[in-house]
Amino acid sequence: MTLPKGFGSAGGGGGTSADVERMIGRRVENMTGMITLSYLAAWLATFGGTAAGYFYYPWAYPTPSGHYAFIVLTIVEAIGYIFCVKVMEEGTRKNSNGIVAATIAGTAVGTVLISLYVGN
């Protein structure tokens, strides 16, 4: 990989991973917390969107339809979250299985509780 001027060796070749890290700023395998927070924010936004249907537009957005949409979107978001974390950690020694499992389990329990008690 050819790096911009001021990075890498003085010759024309590529740079080391330290040079790439210095150029980019931060390695992605250290961003598990940021991706987890983004996933949780997306999950809460999904609930907020369906909650608008439950509480403000119940004539246009029936509760069973809202629950179905919330559950399906939660599953899609969870698959995307797992994919992001696993791709991010590929080729490293990092292992965030505990964080991922706790986050997915928490949103699964939250989704079930919301589907059982909200809007009924």
Structure confidence by residue, pLDDT tens digits, 3-26: 566 656 555 555 566 666 666 656
Across residues 33-42, what is the average pLDDT?
A: 95
Tell whether pTM > 0.85: no
Helices 97-117 and 63-88 cross at an angle (nearest 10°) of 180
Q: Rounded to whole angstroms, how far apart are CA atoms 35 and 55?
A: 30
Which pLDDT belongs to residue 109?
A: 97
Domain ranges of the chain: 1-27, 31-117
Placement of tokens 């070749």 in the chain: 13
